[in-house]
Chain A
């Protein structure tokens, strides 16, 4: 029984149940009555993805045509027939300098994605070469008590993703460390609850942008003597502050609504405060705390992009902003690539939290 932790169980557990169906299809284990299920769970989502790509392609094409016609017409009125003809030929030839700038098509986005990966490989190779070249020199510098020479080249797209993940996890950790203990105190004491309630109600709806500005004001002054780049610090603290509210509210609610029977048991057994919190109150409110943490992580990921953009902190947000400012021919396609990457990572983070939640939660049947 214990050994049968199969792929199916794992994928069901993390909520990707359709993998099992797909596996059954290829191994021929699929029963006839399962076929309807298979149709609904695998074919329909795949078909809708294809439909989406098709509509996107058509939409992008018509936008492209509108933009192209407008450009040619403009050339005609401004510069005459010859210029218009030249532009038409240029657009038709696929020359990148004269392409209309609009919503990129799926194939363009795919190409950009691949070019971003190539770019990453080049930068990684460059970095490795740099590390090799400076290895002996850096060892000497460190021995002499000087700072090592670091690579200062442009970060690749993949580096930006990892930087964003770092920021979001730092922010999430901050939110967890503030909101969970505070939530426990608020949930345990009605006095603290009434003291903090107004505070929570007022600050919960504040926009990420304002949180960023507030954190900026404070951190800028605190780090006034430091030469280090404070943008990472500012952005992860802002992310933490924006996203901690769901955890705070859920923890307080979970702690204050522990089943009265459990509290009575704790009273009859005369458990000490410490034991009561760690053996009874916390385990029983874990499901709600995790619901809060799940919301916190998804909010953190969502506001991260905006905050990175404001803070000029390296990451996906800054990447999107720079590409938008850049206005190069494939910038739009790169923005769409970033959009998909952001979405997929957000989805995976959510799944990650759900998996952890299922793992720690005691009523496993209810949680899934």
Chain B
């Protein structure tokens, strides 16, 4: 027992202690999640340590049900923490808040509102002192960025799934969060639309450089978007299994990534991890 604990600490130091604390945006320390059941506690996550730097894009990959979404919703503050801590800029988080924007798996737009109103809902909340015109300009700017300049006044229920998720992206960026959390945002889209939205996402992200944590099932998506790919072990008691640095230049194009010599090495590394 003591040896494993010791090795964990050294592993942790080796992996996470490398960043000076002033560079760290998001810090997960010994994070634990337990669901009490009648047959005893079910431990979803245990001893999970992860540090994410400012302006870093991290993708998280792992098998279904390993606790990726649980981890993300804990960071978002939507799911209480059983042990350990989560801090943003060295401050422990308390519940949800607009400093951590979330793009959900389903677009989660209010179907009775127009796309502009949906984005405004967040903008109004975050910039209460700005004039209405200024707030509207912010919302419109981001809707334009996601290619919805013609759909400001369309009801969300009239938009296609892909268009709705574009509004979701605009809504998340428009509140200018410190951390952006993406829970398999393109999982429900067809591959063509998914590619489009990845391009849109990375284009905005290149401008805004908001620290991002994204869950995905898609190995190619994970490599294309990320600075680091975090691999999670299968649950129960899931933790970080391995981390892969992706050293492609930014801004990237899909073509340059696919033609890069390291691409298949990275891909093989991830697939090998997932298959074991």
Q: Which residues of A contact B108 (CB under 8 A)?
A: 259, 261-262, 264-265
For the complex formed, measure the closest distance between the CB of B112 and the CB atoms of chain A, giving whole angstroms: 4
Q: Is B70 an interface residue (CB 8 A)?
A: no
Query: What total of chain A residues lie within 8 Å of the partner, measured CB to CB?
Result: 17
Q: Is A284 an interface residue (CB 8 A)?
A: yes
Of A71-79, A267-275, A317-325, the segment with at least 4 beta carbons within 8 Å of chain B is A267-275
Do residues A264 and B78 form an inter-chain contact, with CB atoms below 8 A? Answer: yes
Q: Is A363 an interface residue (CB 8 A)?
A: yes
Contact of B110 among A262, A264, A268, A270 (CB under 8 A): A262
Looking at chain A's contact residues, the main secondary structure is helix
Q: Which residues of A contact B96 (CB under 8 A)?
A: 264, 267-268, 270
For the complex formed, measure the closest distance between the CB of A304 and the CB atoms of chain B, giving whole angstroms: 33
Q: Is B87 an interface residue (CB 8 A)?
A: no
Do residues B110 and A269 form an inter-chain contact, with CB atoms below 8 A? Answer: no
Do residues A271 and B125 form an inter-chain contact, with CB atoms below 8 A? Answer: yes
Q: Which residues of A contact B112 (CB under 8 A)?
A: 283-284, 286, 362
Q: Is B162 an interface residue (CB 8 A)?
A: no
Q: Which residues of B contact A264 (CB under 8 A)?
A: 76, 78, 96, 102, 104, 108
Do residues A268 and B111 form an inter-chain contact, with CB atoms below 8 A? Answer: no
Given contacts A362-B111, A362-B155, contact A269 B175 (CB under 8 A): yes
For the complex formed, measure the closest distance between the CB of B167 and the CB atoms of chain A, giving whole angstroms: 12
Q: Is B147 an interface residue (CB 8 A)?
A: no
For the complex formed, measure the closest distance between the CB of A3 and the CB atoms of chain B, giving whole angstroms: 18
Q: Is A279 an interface residue (CB 8 A)?
A: yes
Q: Is B98 an interface residue (CB 8 A)?
A: yes
Do residues A269 and B121 form an inter-chain contact, with CB atoms below 8 A? Answer: yes
Contact of A268 among B97, B113, B155, B157 (CB under 8 A): B97
Q: Is A280 an interface residue (CB 8 A)?
A: yes
Q: Which residues of B contact A270 (CB under 8 A)?
A: 96-98, 125
For the complex formed, measure the closest distance between the CB of B166 and the CB atoms of chain A, giving whole angstroms: 16
Q: Is B106 an interface residue (CB 8 A)?
A: yes
Q: Which residues of A contact B78 (CB under 8 A)?
A: 264, 267-268
A 19-69 contacts with B by CB, 8 A: none
Interface residues of B (CB under 8 A from A): 76-78, 95-98, 100-102, 104, 106, 108, 110-113, 121-122, 125-126, 155, 157, 175
Excluding A262-B110, A362-B157, 12 further A-B contacts by CB distance (< 8 Å) are A259-B108, A262-B108, A264-B102, A264-B104, A264-B108, A270-B96, A270-B125, A283-B112, A286-B112, A362-B155, A363-B111, A363-B157
Q: What are 28 residue pairs bridging A and B, where the CB atoms are less than 8 Å apart in the complex?
A: A261-B108, A262-B108, A262-B110, A264-B108, A265-B102, A265-B108, A265-B110, A267-B77, A267-B96, A268-B76, A268-B77, A268-B98, A268-B100, A268-B102, A269-B125, A269-B126, A270-B96, A270-B97, A270-B125, A271-B125, A279-B121, A280-B110, A283-B110, A283-B113, A286-B112, A362-B111, A362-B112, A362-B157
